[in-house]
Structure 1
């Protein structure tokens, strides 16, 4: 294609989008100008060939990278064989996908309920918890995001739940976040102990016999990549066990390699009752998610009907993409690579940036799951104003880096296949842009 023609395609895409597409979480009168036409690995580009290094993994879901040939091939092969089938039928691709998922789950978790994404995974985990316990209340943290469906968005703690309060039976509490501690803690151990005491009091105040489940992101993602302090998740498990409350761990963003482990909770002394997943299980190539169910809970429905279902649950194209993704991640050592590149390239690079730029208040994360918290004042830790964060985002894009920005943070979340050279390339761009910030 000529340069003029490819530029015309970019303009056509923008015109069609502005005229006909209604975007999520957006004021519709401010259309995006960023066109993405294709990608490969950690890079994407528009029709005219302008390239971006993708350090957002889109919505922190393209764990295996863009256009992995094995996954693309598996989708094509499945499309030639069978494009769709009802969820009530038996399908080999669905069984193979479930087999691979439960092989990485804790012992005693043998069944998967497939959904179309992470929100409806959390929705159905909540349904399972209420049916199993006969209780109603779901506890979740204020710093959380669980999806934009009825119960999932009300379980969410951030601002997005406020205009969407259409579901019953939810209460919130504060989880640990030492940098902005709600508990006047000075150490990770104090933060863990005091956050657990806070949760204990919330459980007592809400009435333990009314609480079906505690729903937590193992590592809260959009809320800030809040790696839990020592003993916290194990302490939550103990509180749940003491009161007959189920523990649901939301691994939608943190799972399947993001933390350098298959599941984020593999790094902590905790076994959940229900595990929700999506995003990285097939890198978002086809919409898919699900709930991994403990044997005790799944047994409830051996003779009783589970009152839930989705037309596209276990869709063959999605299942084929899961099988191919997990097989490729295994054979290519992608999860171990994410752990290694995080420890050996990302962590030291971001630490060096923080030492150089006072605007970085804290660096935190693991694997390919990191956040730079930006502050206007390192002493008071006042968040960097939104207008300046927006300017930073624009400057990163101008330099060919596609960032993930949330509130006053840059989330450093490249695909799990990112190389050390690509980390260095991104770091140089962060360095240049952050160097323009005046405090």
Structure 2
């Protein structure tokens, strides 16, 4: 790894340090790497060839290793550090809560938990006043599915092939991508194709055609499965890991109308897209649609403490007024997580962080990524909202053939060499910085993407 210039080095306080300094911190980095390789079993990976970077610290949109070399975090780790690394108000809230009550059973009332739930529903649609807290996004989707089945008395869940909903029993089977296939142990899941005009399953030539034909396809699946057997349609509002697929105009309202027509619930998965990522509090705020259940995690507290949850429409919550809800988690509403939510949502509101994400997307990323596409033949499509974007990379714009894995490997190496942590998936770069990213950081990242693409394209 090449070393950064002095202005890109960091000392222990996160300020500029001296380039090339070696010492105890470097030894800690070597130890972190050695312990990881000896004892940590990584997700979604063949273990033998892994060579992870050891991250020592972070601040805002930057992280750094144990040698003090800093990187722009344009992956937001796993598209969850919306408020940025080490936001002082969130850190202070966790510390303060730990000093008062570091844990409490979910059966007890807890002031911080109530405040967190109140803050969350304050951004939800009217008629959604209850939150069930979970440990993350996967079990949020798991419990939304459970709620839908118990409320409707039906079994089947319809979800899209291009989706990711988590790695627990029902959530991973609701997932549409390859990760579902070795894990198909849950019952009652049916998949359909959602809209994706760039690679349309419906031979559509316009967004309007894609919407019309995708909705017709979904209705046919509903009819073929028997609507009386379907509990819910589960959708990522904006598809995340599978491509940052922004739904075309009219699609989500059309899904809502189908759900209403057939008495089916609509669950919107906002785990990745929610809490500022698209430049709105919830991604569905862009699309004039109200779901019955909303799942969340990630951006609600930027993952400072593991947490997720389900926002529940009042009629569904009322189902369990005099009927036991058969679900629970030891750490549901954990007070450290609750304190981090309260501080995060307050900071986002008072510091204009959601508005910053919207401005960055509209004024900088949209034109900046379009300019990259105009100059790089490997960019087939640019799509996104807020700080949630993808560049789809192709070997040929006419055929839209995806670039090979070797290209993506070379591209990742070039991005890392220029000190940008990327989020790469299949043949795509996902451009997903924290919502607090600055204009200068975006400009620097765009220059790095430009340079790295230029080098990688020489291999095509």
Give me the TM-score of the superposition, normalised by structure 2: 0.95
Match of 1:253 in 2: 272
**Equivalent residue for 2:95, pick from 64, 76, 90:** 76
**How many pairs does the alignment contain?**
439
1:269 CA displacement: 1.6
Offset of residue 6 of structure 1: 2.0
CA distance in 2, matches of 1:33, 1:132: 44
Please state how far the C-alpha of 1:132 moved relative to its aligned partner.
Answer: 0.4
Match of 1:323 in 2: 342
Q: Distance in 2 between matches of 1:88 and 1:176?
A: 42
Spell out the pairing of 1:7-156 with structure 2 (5 A cutoff). 7-156=26-175
Deviations along 1:118-141, one digit per CA (max 9) or x if unpaired, are 000000000000000000000000
Q: More displaced, 386-395 or 168-177?
A: 386-395
1:390 Cα deviation (Å)?
A: 1.2
Moved >6 Å (runs of 4+): none
Displacement of 1:4: 2.9
Kindly state the Cα deviation for residue 33 of structure 1 after the two structures are TM-superposed.
3.2
**How many angstroms apart in 2 are the aligned matches of 1:413 and 1:383?**
21
Report 1:15-414 matches (<5 A): 15-414=34-433
RMSD of Structure 2 on Structure 1 (CA): 0.8
Partners of 1:86 and 1:7 in 2: CA distance? 41
1:83, CA displacement in angstroms?
0.4
SS in 2 for 1:62: coil
- C-alpha separation between the residues in 2 aligned to 1:394 and 1:87? 45
Residue 5 (structure 1) shift: 2.1
The 10-residue stretch of structure 1 (343-352 or 31-40) with the greater mean CA deviation from structure 2: 31-40
- SS of corresponding position for 1:233: helix
Q: Could you tell me how far 1:335 is from its partner in structure 2? A: 0.3
Q: Which residue of 1 aligns with 2:439?
A: 420
Give distance in 1, aligned partners of 2:295 and 2:172: 15
What is the alpha-carbon distance in structure 1 between the residues aligned to residue 52 and residue 304 of structure 2? Answer: 23
Partner Cα distance (2:332, 2:157) in 1:
24
TM-score by length of 1: 0.99
Q: Separation in 1 of the partners of 2:203 and 2:119?
A: 43
Cα distance in 2 between the residues matched to 1:130 and 1:6: 52
SS of alignment partner, residue 301 of structure 1:
coil
Report how far residue 47 of structure 1 moved.
Answer: 1.0
- Following superposition, the deviation at residue 395 of structure 1 comes to 1.0
Counterparts of 1:340 and 1:406, CA distance in 2: 25
Distance 1:15 1:299 in 2: 52
What is the rounded CA distance, in whole Å, between the counterparts of 2:325 and 2:82 in structure 1? 32
Worse-superposed segment, 386-395 or 311-320? 386-395
Bigger mean CA offset, 260-269 vs 3-12: 3-12
Residue ranges of structure 2 left out of the alignment (5+ in a row) = 1-11, 13-20
Cα distance in 2 for residues equivalent to 1:3 and 1:71? 32
Q: Unmatched 5+ residue regions in structure 1? A: none
